[in-house]
Chain A
Amino acid sequence: DTGVSQDPRHKITKRGQNVTFRCDPISEHNRLYWYRQTLGQGPEFLTYFQNEAQLEKSRLLSDRFSAERPKGSFSTLEIQRTEQGDSAMYLCASSRGLAGGPSDTQYFGPGTRLTVL
């Protein structure tokens, strides 16, 4: 496994600007998750894809957030009109999607740290 990769690793932007993050999951994994992690907290679920279908979105995902996974491979997370409260680490994870369901292991990328000035 080459691991989950994310780009960029760091992003500094001004309030009101749009930003887009990319996640490349492990190649044979059909499930992809986005999380947000703020300082001193654990990751909080944002959204979930199975192949190219976005099947679940958290209430944390406001209308300014949109995620895509167009060909069931890489995924993008876009934040429009960024606010200072969006400053956080955005983590992507992927999993193989085992029949065992809850025992499936999610493999995390290094994250994109967003700072909104």
Chain B
Amino acid sequence: GNSVTQMEGPVTLSEEAFLTINCTYTATGYPSLFWYVQYPGEGLQLLLKATKADDKGSNKGFEATYRKETTSFHLEKGSVQVSDSAVYFCALSEYSGGYQKVTFGTGTKLQVIP
């Protein structure tokens, strides 16, 4: 079956530091890949997505590149801010059995300190 593995958190960084959150996946087909962000007490918000190999998703300074050869979709940001503190979820999506099946990782908590 499909699975998503994320680096364990929490990740603690100083403001303006470089961020990488690793994500690798296992899929039976050719999935789309997503990063969602969850702020405390809220639901998940789409951060970025990529739908085919070598696609780069980007939003709000965050980037991730769909690497089919390494089955990875690592999230990066050049300079984090305190407001980026949240839990980040990597997810893959396949169309299976007539519906969009999304598999999430366990999440990586990011804490940015001033």
In the assembled complex, B94 has its CB within 8 A of some CB on chain A: yes
CB of A102 within 8 A of CB of B46, answer: no
A93 contacts which chain B residues (CB < 8 A)?
Answer: 44
Segment 80-97 of B: residues with Cβ below 8 Å from A = 89, 91, 93-95, 97
Given contacts A42-B104, A42-B106, A56-B97, contact A103 B51 (CB under 8 A): yes
CB of A102 within 8 A of CB of B100, answer: yes
CB of A4 within 8 A of CB of B43, answer: yes
**Minimal Cβ-Cβ distance residue in B for A106:** B102
Contact with A along B92-114 (1 / 0, CB 8 A): 01110111111011110000000
Q: How far is the CA of A56 from the CA of B99 in the complex (A)?
A: 8
CB of B107 within 8 A of CB of A102, answer: no
In the assembled complex, A43 has its CB within 8 A of some CB on chain B: yes
- Interface residues on chain B, number (Cβ under 8 Å): 29
Interface residues on A, range: 20 to 34
**Minimal Cβ-Cβ distance residue in B for A42:** B104
Given contacts A4-B43, A102-B51, contact A40 B98 (CB under 8 A): no
Segment 7-42 of A: residues with Cβ below 8 Å from B = 31, 33, 40-42
CB contact between B43 and one of A33, A42, A45, A108 (< 8 Å): that residue: A108
In the assembled complex, B58 has its CB within 8 A of some CB on chain A: no
CB of B101 within 8 A of CB of A103, answer: no
- Chain B residues with CB under 8 Å of chain A are 4, 30-32, 34, 36, 41-46, 49, 51, 89, 91, 93-95, 97-102, 104-107
- Chain A residues with CB under 8 Å of chain B are 4, 6, 31, 33, 40-45, 48, 50, 55-56, 91, 93, 95, 100-111
